[in-house]
Amino acid sequence: MSYQGKKNIPKITSDRLLIKGGRIVNDDQSFHADIYMEDGLIKQIGDNLIVPGGVKVIEAQGKMVIPGGIDIHTHFQMPYRGTTTVDDFAQGSKAALAGGTTMVVDHVIPDPGNSLLEAYDQWRQWADEKACCDYSLHVDITHWSDSVQQELECLIKEKGVNSFQVYMAYKDYYQMTNSELYEVFTFLAERGGIAQVHAENGEIIAEEQARMLQMGITGPEGHVLSRPEELEAEAVFRAITIASQTNCPLYVTRVMSKSAADIISQARKKGNVVFGEPITASLGTDGTHYWSKNWAKAASFVTSPPLSPDPTTPDYLNTLLSSGDLSVTGSAHCTFSVAQKAIGKDDFTQIPEGVNGVEERMALIWDKAVTSGKMDENMFVAVTSTNAAKILNLYPRKGRIAVGSDADLVIWDTDSIRTITAKTHNSAAEYNIFEGMELRGAPLVVICQGKIVLEDGNLHATSGVGRFIPCSAFPDFAYKRVKARKQLAVLKAVPRGMYDGPVSEYSMSRGGTPSASARTSPTKQPVRNLHQSGFSLAGNPAACGPPAPDDIPIRPAGRRIVVPPGGRSNITSLS
């Protein structure tokens, strides 16, 4: 690397950059080429580029140049019971950059009953002030009403949000019923949104929590005991069922257990449009630490769904990630200090939930999946960056090294070995759940918006430079199949003659599924339009009962009675 003067690094790097001699790795192929960047965009890719003078040159020396990582799931500066997570947008995005992630997607969590738009504006304000890298937002739907629908409409059309999370857990707070989920999914499917779910069965959790507390289990181990992995798998199964009924693409956040991952991969094999997101924690560690004698340590692992106590889980999830059954990785970075976690020192249900992971995400996947031979470097790019960009409809602006894309690049050093410890990490938390883990692979140089933010181990992040990147609706990655299926899945009624036999007397007082529309009693015989039906009845008209004036709606518009080719079927005699 060559500098023209140490003092004005930011100025020079902001303009023009040339990466020479790198191996560009996209999700589809790898090739050797130089990259020329200007004004935060990639302008040229190729050998022997013609570039203006005064360009800063970075010698990649054959190292991998990959698109910057996209962490699709973070909770920076998340308010929780009057306090906020210790990593705000500045601290959090700094940690992201240090780990090779150049874009984060944060979750906006409005309190139930509050306006989604207000919460969105609040998050935008916080992030615009502080974020050091580009960001985008998911909005969580914490309650369901007509006003929420209007706000969603506005968020999708005007505010650049295309993904919304709903909760199947947190009973009496965020949790939605199956009917509400159905309505949300239907709504999102019509408007091109991605339905994200926090998949856990909240009702059973509530019962189990009560039982655990009754048994005198109050420590963090109660968290995992009251949220066994089946409850996650069950909710995933249910979410997939609802999504497939409503023909809505589904995104399962935080896949933490083998059984949940299995359900997703089975559903994908059946053709469901579903994406699974394992997080750094589930890919790197397991839930045995909940039984640690050190309360603070055990509490630092508390997140929902919990880490699985099965120590083979991380390996298994990495395998499914490599095979493509799980699509993207997030970090669910949501850090609380030990003092904050200690809110729940006498009752595990009160422990604030969240683990770190935004900084470790890329290195961890490299170490666990690529160096172990499960995954190749292209797949690595896909799961850390490209797939996320595709789901958010940001591709190819993000997630790819191509002419015209944003200059968010990472020069990846495949051989460097780092030991993760809370002493050196960029997060403000006192604990790191990956403490002591040795990871092979690390970013050597990180370029964000065409500026070098990390080199030689020095971070030059600037607060407030992060831009909000709007996501548009109907991402092809998720919706192409959905659209095609919508055309196929038009249900049709069978045209039949009217049933003209006797009808039993019955009472509507009780029983029966209440039908949505008020309809006239089926026992009344409508006035028959003989032209419409094409045949006359031989029965006694007196038996048909008094004709009612409001009989017309009894024949719905969709149910045309026509003479079918080949003659009408006899509706009363048996085949």
80 binds other proteins (CB under 8 A): yes
Candidates 20, 124, 143, 171; binder of other proteins (CB under 8 A) is 171
179 binds other proteins (CB under 8 A): yes
CA angle 245–250–256, rounded 5-degree value: 125
Helix, coil or strand: residue 379: helix
Backbone φ and ψ for 218, nearest 5 degrees, come out as -120, -10
Candidates 512, 518, 531, 549; binder of other proteins (CB under 8 A) is 512
Query: Crossing angle for the helix pair 202-214 and 229-246, nearest 10 degrees?
Result: 160
Shortest Cβ distance from residue 410 to other proteins (Å)?
30
Shortest Cβ distance from residue 144 to other proteins (Å)?
13
Candidates 124, 143, 345, 440; binder of other proteins (CB under 8 A) is 345
492 binds other proteins (CB under 8 A): yes
230 binds other proteins (CB under 8 A): yes
Handedness of CA 228, 308, 91, 340 (dihedral sign): positive
CB nearer to other proteins: pick between 62 and 216: 216
Q: 9 exposed, middle or buried (CB, 10 Å; 0-12, 13-18, 19+)?
A: middle
Which stretch in 3-11, 56-64, 333-341, 471-479 sits in contact with other proteins by CB under 8 A?
333-341
Candidates 519, 530, 532, 552; binder of other proteins (CB under 8 A) is 519
Of 101, 189, 161, 63, which Cα lies nearest the Cα of 483? Answer: 189
- Measured CA to CA, the distance from residue 342 to residue 352 in angstroms comes to 8
CB nearer to other proteins: pick between 154 and 537: 537
128 binds other proteins (CB under 8 A): no
- Measured CA to CA, the distance from residue 185 to residue 165 in angstroms comes to 10
Return the residues of window 45-74 that contact other proteins according to CB under 8 A: none
422 binds other proteins (CB under 8 A): yes
Candidates 517, 518, 531, 546; binder of other proteins (CB under 8 A) is 517
Return the residues of window 367-396 that contact other proteins according to CB under 8 A: none
Return the residues of window 255-314 that contact other proteins according to CB under 8 A: 291-298
Return the residues of window 538-557 that contact other proteins according to CB under 8 A: 538-539, 543, 554, 556-557
- Report how many residues bind other proteins under the rule CB under 8 A: 123
CB nearer to other proteins: pick between 240 and 375: 240
Candidates 70, 233, 332, 392; binder of other proteins (CB under 8 A) is 233
CA angle 248–253–254, rounded 5-degree value: 155
- Residues 302 and 353: beta-carbon distance below 8 Å: yes
Shortest Cβ distance from residue 266 to other proteins (Å)?
9
What is the residue type of 209? Answer: Q
Start-to-end C-alpha separation, the chain: 85
201 binds other proteins (CB under 8 A): yes
- Measured CA to CA, the distance from residue 286 to residue 310 in angstroms comes to 7
Which stretch in 11-19, 115-123, 234-242, 380-388 sits in contact with other proteins by CB under 8 A?
234-242
- Residues 182 and 245: beta-carbon distance below 8 Å: yes
511 binds other proteins (CB under 8 A): yes
CB nearer to other proteins: pick between 138 and 390: 138
Q: Which residue has the tokens 């040795």?
A: 438
487 binds other proteins (CB under 8 A): no
CB nearer to other proteins: pick between 22 and 219: 219
CB nearer to other proteins: pick between 483 and 519: 519
The tokens for 59 are 């010698």
What is the residue type of 119? Answer: A
CB nearer to other proteins: pick between 357 and 399: 357
- Measured CA to CA, the distance from residue 472 to residue 158 in angstroms comes to 9
Count of C-beta atoms within a 10 Å radius of residue 423 = 9
